[in-house]
Amino acid sequence: MAVSILGIINALLPKDAASRRIAHDVPFGPRARHKLDIYAPKAGRDAPGGGLPVVLFIYGGSWAEGDRGDYGFAGRALAAQGFVTVVADYRLLPEVEYPGFVADCALAFAWVVDHIAEHGGDPARIGVMGHSAGAYNAAMLALDPAYLKAEQRHHIRCVVGLSGPYDFFPFDGAITMRTFGAVADPMRTQPVNHVTPSAPPMFLASGDKDTLVYPRNTAELARRLRTLGVPVEERHYERLGHPGTLLALARPLRGTAPVLTEVSRYLHAQLQPQALRQPVPAAAEPQ
């Protein structure tokens, strides 16, 4: 098995002592890659409403690479902030093409809704978060009704997208041509084309130095959400490139930008029990 650079980084990063992995290799579907890991706070936290808030984290990798084991640092970082965090694998190219990888993430989300209470999470308080291609998958779950039943989609209380591609048609790059070039209706592949007033609130962030997924993707999805009255918080981090919004979750790199602090604040505000929900407090100026 090939060792990824991110896997090496994950192995070398110091672990968040306030977190622990509570489940490993849990199947959520029939395929070999339909497995997930679960992280939780090590110490007990207040859990009003019957459980802790939940985050389904979806990693990126151009829809062609990735392994949940390489993202333990992200799972632990979020768990240390008080979230039961699920990191799921999904099938990749060339095993599947669009929309197979999004459908797999929908399977994982449905499993979370049905089973996360068994692991200390509250199925009424779930946020979906992704980086890069994972942010695309997260946005499609929340916006396109093709993937989740209405009662399942209702469980998505908010979305956090880091450096996500949401508006990239026409397909003019090797990655997008390989992944979406054969789709009969390419406009349906674009998250921006699925925005409706019923979309969940979103936190969308990008690095100003990102030359792989240009920040205009974040800006355009945020604009369309605002136009239809959907609450959105848009962040642009001056010093970060494409991987920076993800790596800033890790302990040694949190000083590069306040990504973890701002994401955690946002998620806690959005994932409060209904009786306690308040408007999301204003963030500091972008870094």
Residue 279 belongs to some domain of the structure: no
Residue 156 belongs to some domain of the structure: yes
pLDDT of residue 11: 83
Report angle CA 163, 166, 167 to the nearest 5 degrees.
125
Residue 114 belongs to some domain of the structure: yes
Query: What is the average pLDDT across 65-80?
Result: 96
**What range defines the domain where residue 24 resides?**
5-273
pTM assigned to the model: 0.92
Considering only CA atoms, give the Rg of the chain: 17
pLDDT of residue 47: 55
pLDDT of residue 45: 55
Tell me the C-alpha distance between 190 and 164, whole Å.
Answer: 11
In one-letter notation, the amino acid at residue 236 is: H
In one-letter notation, the amino acid at residue 130 is: G
Residue 55 belongs to some domain of the structure: yes
Using one digit for the tens of pLDDT, what is the confidence trace for 92-144? 999 999 999 999 999 999 999 999 999 999 999 999 999 999 999 999 999 99
How does the average pLDDT of the chain come out, rounded?
92
Using one digit for the tens of pLDDT, what is the confidence trace for 41-50? 997 555 555 7
Signed CA dihedral, 72, 31, 135, 60: sign only: positive
pLDDT of residue 278: 52
287 pLDDT above the threshold of 80: no
CATH of the domain at 86: 3.40.50.1820
pLDDT of residue 50: 75
pLDDT of residue 14: 78
Residue 281 belongs to some domain of the structure: no
Map residue 40 onto helix, strand or coil: strand
Residue 280 belongs to some domain of the structure: no
Residue 93 belongs to some domain of the structure: yes
| Domain count within the chain | 1
Residue 219 belongs to some domain of the structure: yes
pLDDT of residue 1: 41
Helices (H), the chain: 5-12, 72-80, 100-115, 133-143, 150-153, 174-180, 216-227, 244-247, 259-270
